[in-house]
């Protein structure tokens, strides 16, 4: 087996930093709680990276069909090595290789902040969702402050160099509300996690 390429996502989830591990554990627990409450049978994780969230759901005994899609071939290859049995495929958030209304739940976790066209991506998430979308982003400015406290990106004053969009709760909700109805908001520090229901006319 070829060595795993350590992407930014891999480094985050495999971090040994105690504070970061604590934050990620709480985020995964909150995400799993929301997903379990929906009792869905068919779930897509868009921008899944190596599949750590799907792997967590599977480890928790979630029996639904779990699919992940990511633009990075390296991340997909690593994910298949780390989590054998997951269905991970290559694809773009702007042009997902699935039919309309295909998945009960579409997750997109910590992706929109990386995208040049987040609204275009959101429209595509809603398109392939039958009912629910679960979206998370770093909750600014708290995410940047948490980076500083945990010793990350000191030279950039806590700003993640890969982020090109910065969302507070109001900005994220305004974006989502254009295409779906928000039904729940969670705040697993330092992230926002918003559950939305597809508009009937979408």
| pLDDT tens digits, 8-44 | 788 788 888 888 899 999 999 999 999 999 999 999 9
Q: Are 194 and 33 in contact (CB under 8 A)?
A: no
Establish if 2 belongs to a structural domain. Answer: no
Q: What is the CATH number of the domain that holds 73?
A: 3.40.50.150
Establish if 72 belongs to a structural domain. Answer: yes
Structural domain for 150, as ranges: 8-198
Establish if 98 belongs to a structural domain. Answer: yes
Structure-block tokens of residue 142: 């708290």
Q: Count CB neighbours of 46 within 10 A.
A: 26
Establish if 3 belongs to a structural domain. Answer: no
Establish if 128 belongs to a structural domain. Answer: yes
Distance CA 64, CA 41 (A): 4
Sheet containing strand 65-70, edge to edge, reads: 87-90, 65-70, 42-46, 103-109, 129-138, 191-198, 180-186
Query: 46-58 pLDDT, tens per residue?
Result: 999 999 999 999 9
Establish if 1 belongs to a structural domain. Answer: no
Structurally, the chain folds into a number of domains equal to: 1
Instruction: Please tell me the pTM assigned to this model.
Output: 0.90
């Amino acid at each position: 087996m070829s060595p795993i390429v350590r992407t930014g996502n891999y480094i985050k989830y495999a971090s040994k930093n105690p504070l970061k591990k604590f934050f990620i554990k709480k985020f995964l627990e909150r995400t799993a709680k929301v997903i379990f409450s929906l009792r869905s049978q068919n779930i897509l994780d868009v921008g899944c990276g190596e599949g750590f969230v799907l792997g967590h759901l599977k480890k928790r005994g979630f029996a639904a069909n779990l699919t992940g899609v990511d633009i990075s071939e390296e991340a997909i290859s690593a994910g298949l090595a780390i989590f054998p049995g997951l269905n991970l495929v290559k694809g773009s958030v702007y042009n997902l290789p699935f039919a309309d209304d295909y998945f009960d739940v579409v997750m997109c976790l910590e992706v929109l902040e990386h995208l040049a066209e987040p609204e275009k991506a959101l429209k595509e998430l809603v398109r392939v969702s039958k009912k629910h979308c679960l979206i998370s982003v770093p909750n600014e400015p708290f995410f940047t402050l948490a980076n500083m406290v945990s010793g990350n990106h000191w030279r950039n004053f806590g700003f993640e160099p890969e982020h090109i969009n910065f969302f507070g709760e109001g900005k994220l909700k305004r974006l989502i509300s254009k295409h779906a109805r928000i039904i729940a908001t969670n705040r697993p520090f330092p992230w926002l996690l918003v559950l939305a229901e597809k508009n009937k006319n979408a």
